[in-house]
Chain A
Amino acid sequence: MINLQPYENPMYFIYLFVALLPIIIAMLYGKKLHWYQTIISFVFLVLAFGGVKWHEGIALIAYIIFEMVLIGAYFYYRQKVNQTWVFCSAVVLAIIPLIIVKVTPAVYGHPSLIGFLGISYLTFKAVQMIMEIRDGAIKEFDPWLTLQFLLFFPTISSGPIDRYRRFKGDYERKPDPQKYLQLLDKGVWYIFLGFLYKFVLAYIFGTLLLPNVGKMALTYGGISWWLVAYMYVYSMDLFFDFAGYSLFAVGISYLMGIETPMNFNRPFCAWNIKEFWNRWHMTLSFWFRDYIYMRLVFFIMKKKLIKNRITIANVGYLTLFLIMGFWHGLTWYYIVYGLYHAVAIILCDVWLRYKKKHRSKIPSNRFTKLLAIFITFNVVCFSFLIFSGFLDTLFFHNIATLK
């Protein structure tokens, strides 16, 4: 049986376009083909998780059954009682499969049997639902819609991470042909921009330049100009690859009438690190902001665990970015990457407070703005160099210099 990974090659887009054509035509006539969409989704899921990846398919099915039962059970429980320990247990249970998948390679040196492509993103969605059920924001449990939400195939492998109530609104709304035409227009534009990002720019940076620059940096060893070049080339590759993928996912969602939120908004034009996180992998950073940072800060303030506001904010940042680091994987460089960003944001807050106090004395003009963007860009690129793991190879496993 064939296996086709999402957005892997031009053929995927051709199959996808043919499959989506009936949906597009129906939408232009103000109709939705929910049953047809379900069949298409199923086919593309089978293509991604079947064939040589059949074991991932089994893991996905088991995972989905587990999370559905958990969400459903918690929903029915929550309609009657609202105890904190039950809520906490539900969240822990929801993330246990992900934790196993993340810890297994670090401990046993091989991938976990229960892992599959996109498990992180499904977990983010499941945890989000449990938290909103607790808050009473999700007022009914609709198993079919929950399944559609969790398994929405354009975003299944790497996001963007949608929100259940937002998705539900789009899914159920009767399409307005005028509005859909605009959506279609935007969707097609995003897909073509994605081609430029992923198949041209990410190819140039990632496939043509990166291996050569990397080889030179390893040959020279230690800190060299090649290492600096590697940092920038890797950062560009990371951005164009992921932003390109995200544009595909958002564009395809639009064709299906689902306005999946955007993931990137010119991140390298950010003038400080806080602003950067409002522009880079936005659905992930907003997820961490809403479901970890704000809830943690709310809890600390309400229980008056810490008095000082600045300390509370800093504890929040450290927790958020450490969790983000661990989520990327259990290696020193992911964890250092998280810590680095936490420290950068804490320092950014120190600077913002200082600026507020001494507003009249600090110049603010075109030049300072450009300088701020330049500094932020370099701080971010350095963090990506840590994230890349290249330093690990360079310093600890460098065959070129160890020989």
Chain B
Amino acid sequence: MKEKVIGILEDLTGSQEIADNLDINLYDEGLLDSMATVQLLLELQSQCGVDVPVSEFERSEWDTPNKIIAKVESM
């Protein structure tokens, strides 16, 4: 699951450095925006089978790769 999430994030951000720094703040660094967030939710749905409604998406809880992985694994 971890590899899958990292793969999705690398595709979305176009950055190969995600795997090197799993605590990078994706929003502060300008790697993700609202648009990419929606793509992330859709990819998580199709590739990992987790359904995250937009309401459940609280930015501060999803702003680093590690946090996203933990969220996905807990679902």
* Contact between chains at B54 and A309 (CB < 8 Å): no
* Contact between chains at B37 and A137 (CB < 8 Å): no
What string of 1s and 0s marks CB contacts (under 8 Å) between B1-37 and chain A?
Answer: 0000000000000100000000000000010011101
What string of 1s and 0s marks CB contacts (under 8 Å) between B32-60 and chain A?
Answer: 01110111011000000000011111000
* Contact between chains at B53 and A294 (CB < 8 Å): no
CA distance in complex: A356, B13 (Å): 11
Q: Is A185 an interface residue (CB 8 A)?
A: no
What string of 1s and 0s marks CB contacts (under 8 Å) between A309-344 and chain B?
Answer: 100110010000000000000000000000000000
CA distance in complex: A136, B55 (Å): 8
* Contact between chains at B35 and A302 (CB < 8 Å): no
* Contact between chains at B56 and A309 (CB < 8 Å): no
With both chains docked as a complex, state the minimum distance between the C-beta of B7 and any C-beta of chain A, in angstroms: 18
* Contact between chains at A312 and B55 (CB < 8 Å): no
Q: A298-B42, A301-B42 are in contact. Are A313 and B35 (CB under 8 A)?
A: yes
Main secondary structure of the interface of B (DSSP, over half): helix
With both chains docked as a complex, state the minimum distance between the C-beta of B63 and any C-beta of chain A, in angstroms: 13
Contact of B35 among A132, A290, A297 (CB under 8 A): A297
Q: A297-B34, A301-B38 are in contact. Are A136 and B54 (CB under 8 A)?
A: no
* Contact between chains at A309 and B35 (CB < 8 Å): yes
CA distance in complex: A298, B56 (Å): 14
With both chains docked as a complex, state the minimum distance between the C-beta of B38 and any C-beta of chain A, in angstroms: 5
CA distance in complex: A135, B56 (Å): 8
Q: Is A131 an interface residue (CB 8 A)?
A: yes
CA distance in complex: A309, B42 (Å): 13
With both chains docked as a complex, state the minimum distance between the C-beta of B12 and any C-beta of chain A, in angstroms: 10
* Contact between chains at B55 and A131 (CB < 8 Å): yes
CB-CB nearest in chain A for B27 = A278
CB-CB nearest in chain B for A289 = B34
CB-CB nearest in chain A for B37 = A294
Q: Is A295 an interface residue (CB 8 A)?
A: yes
Contact of A298 among B14, B30, B33, B38 (CB under 8 A): B38
CB neighbours of B41 from chain A (8 A) = 298
* Contact between chains at A132 and B42 (CB < 8 Å): no
* Contact between chains at B34 and A293 (CB < 8 Å): yes
CA distance in complex: A298, B53 (Å): 10
* Contact between chains at B35 and A135 (CB < 8 Å): no
Q: A297-B35, A316-B35 are in contact. Are A302 and B42 (CB under 8 A)?
A: yes
CB-CB nearest in chain A for B33 = A274
With both chains docked as a complex, state the minimum distance between the C-beta of B49 and any C-beta of chain A, in angstroms: 15
CB neighbours of B35 from chain A (8 A) = 297, 309, 312-313, 316
CB neighbours of A297 from chain B (8 A) = 34-35, 38
Contact of B38 among A131, A135, A274, A294 (CB under 8 A): A294
CB-CB nearest in chain B for A316 = B35
With both chains docked as a complex, state the minimum distance between the C-beta of A310 and any C-beta of chain B, in angstroms: 9
CB neighbours of A352 from chain B (8 A) = 30
* Contact between chains at A137 and B53 (CB < 8 Å): yes
CB-CB nearest in chain A for B46 = A302
CA distance in complex: A295, B42 (Å): 12
CB neighbours of B34 from chain A (8 A) = 289, 293-294, 297, 316
Which B residues are closer than 8 A to A by beta carbons? 14, 30, 33-35, 37-39, 41-42, 53-57
Which A residues are closer than 8 A to B by beta carbons? 131-132, 135-137, 274, 289-290, 293-295, 297-298, 301-302, 309, 312-313, 316, 352, 356
15 contacts between A and B (CB under 8 A): A131-B55, A132-B55, A135-B56, A136-B53, A137-B55, A137-B56, A290-B54, A290-B57, A293-B34, A297-B38, A298-B38, A298-B42, A301-B39, A316-B34, A352-B30
Given A294-B57, A309-B35, A352-B30, 16 more A-B residue pairs with CB atoms under 8 Å apart are A135-B54, A135-B55, A135-B56, A136-B55, A137-B53, A137-B55, A289-B34, A290-B57, A294-B54, A297-B35, A297-B38, A298-B42, A298-B54, A301-B38, A301-B42, A302-B42
